[in-house]
Amino acid sequence: QVQLVESGGGLVQPGGSLTLSCNASGSFFNLATMDWFRQAPGKQREMVASITVGSSLNYADSVKGRFTISRDNAKKSVYLQMNRLKPDDTAVYYCSMRIPGAHYWGQGTQVTVSS
């Protein structure tokens, strides 16, 4: 049974920073590509960042240079450090785990960037 639990969301002013965390249960973490997605009101869910088992990284163009994804296999956790946040970054952020044949999602955490 895989469960993904996100934390770290909240309200932050433009230009501020937040770090999201996602803790995974189950035995697949070390085999999985881990991602962060987000979904803003009225918009489709979009991939923000991903990190493979070998720590290859991929970022959406809109967050390159501002967001950093990392993982700690011992803690079964993935993180998203978000700097220089903009109002357009406001969304529900979801952690996801991808393994061959399966894709798991967390429940999401709200990030609101507003003055």
- Summarised one tens digit per residue, pLDDT across range 9-46 is 999 999 999 999 999 998 899 999 999 999 999 999 99
Q: Would you call 87 helix, strand, or coil by DSSP?
A: helix
- Over residues 86-115, mean pLDDT: 97
Query: Whole-number mean pLDDT of the chain?
Result: 97
- Over residues 88-106, mean pLDDT: 96
Q: What CA–CA distance (Å, rounded) separates 7 from 23?
A: 9
CA angle 24, 99, 95 (to 5 degrees): 40
Q: Which of 81, 86, 97, 105 minimizes the C-alpha distance to 19?
A: 81
What is residue 31's DSSP assignment? Answer: G
Place of tokens 């962060």: 36
